[in-house]
Amino acid sequence: MKVAIVKLSAMGDIIHAMAALQFMKAYDPSLRIDWIVEEVFAPILEHNPDIDHILPVNLKGLKKKRRQFLSEVQKVREYATNNYDVVIDAQGLIKSAIVSRMLGSTTGFDRHSIRESMAAFFYGKTFFIPYEMNVIERNMKLMMQAIGSSDESVSLAQKKPFLFFTEENRQKTVPFLEQEDKNIVYILGSSWESKIYPREKFLEVIKQLTGNHLLVWGNESEKKSAEYIAQHSEAKVLPEMTLNELKALIASSDLVIGGDSGPTHMAWALNRPSITLFGPTPAKRNTLETEFNRVLDCGKAIDPKRLDREDLCIADIPVDQVVILAKELCK
């Protein structure tokens, strides 16, 4: 069976959906799986043995370069010549639904299960999977049902690490790591300002923990935060890293601390200890806790259908709670 998965963005959403791949292949080892993704996020998928082809698009770029519209349409039409047996829209947006429909017979969430309900009209087959359900379990349920599996015994607790990188990527991270100390990685950014833990509080956490403190940044604003923290502590500002190098770094870390963002979710995907700090997004929906993947939130009830990007409640998470949990995970 030839399967196309459409999950275009964002980084954390792609990682959450990737969790299903190993279980799909376990159910049917003969599956041929291609993944359609925004090209900026394609490296997240690279080197994964359960993916046959990564098929990039640049739909985000159309906002600045509308003349590329026809070339992107042609690109998707070329992908459609692969004659997929099943196309799974794991995004549930009108944009991803249109891309999916162009690829072939499409399966997706029904109109009661997504925010952009019109997207469901593009699907030939739909499933009701509550929008409020944990996103990782939700993706798993859709993708398994789309290939014909009704097995309810599949357990994400049994997952193997599913982000991959090369030895060259790993070697580039070696100089930053300490053999005799705990390597603690701090993710200083996120897609929303309101999902970022204040740099002053990160600094307080670092001052109360013993370890090799590594500061990860992805843009100039985050770099300035990293430099501020480093100026007032023994933390180290890492150089700009590729996504594959970041995967390698997190795979070797003893603990990752950050907000609800793709790099923080990498730790869960790699079975590495983590603390995810939640502000205006719902913790129970946006990750799965394990004995070594833990969450702290601001104690508010968050409606996933009515997120407030201006809600800065993440700043209310006490430093001492982060420190206590970090010490527990670093034992």
Q: Which residue bears the tokens 């968050």? A: 302
Task: Residue count of the chain, please give it.
Answer: 331
**Residue ranges of the domains in the chain?**
2-149, 168-329
Phi-psi domain of 257 (left: phi exceeds 0; alpha: psi -120 through 50; beta: other): beta
Give Cα 234 distance to the centre of its chain. Answer: 29
* Residue 68 Cα distances to 94, 95, 172, angstroms: 19, 16, 35
Range in 67-76, 137-146, 176-185, 317-326 with the lowest mean pLDDT: 67-76
Asked, colleague to colleague, whether 2-149 and 168-329 share their fold, the answer is: yes
| pLDDT above 80 (res 66) | no
Quick: pLDDT tens for 214-236: 999 999 999 999 999 999 999 99
pLDDT the model gives residue 188: 98
Give me the amino acid identity at 30: S
CATH assignment of 2-149?
3.40.50.2000
The listed CATH number (2.40.240.10, 3.40.50.2000, 3.40.190.10, 3.30.1330.40) that belongs to domain 168-329: 3.40.50.2000
Query: Given pLDDT bands bounded at 50, 70 and 90, which one contains residue 298?
Result: very high
First to last CA, the chain: 46
The answer to whether 261 and 195 are in contact (CB under 8 A) is yes
Output DSSP code: residue 67.
Answer: G
Mean pLDDT of 65-89: 93
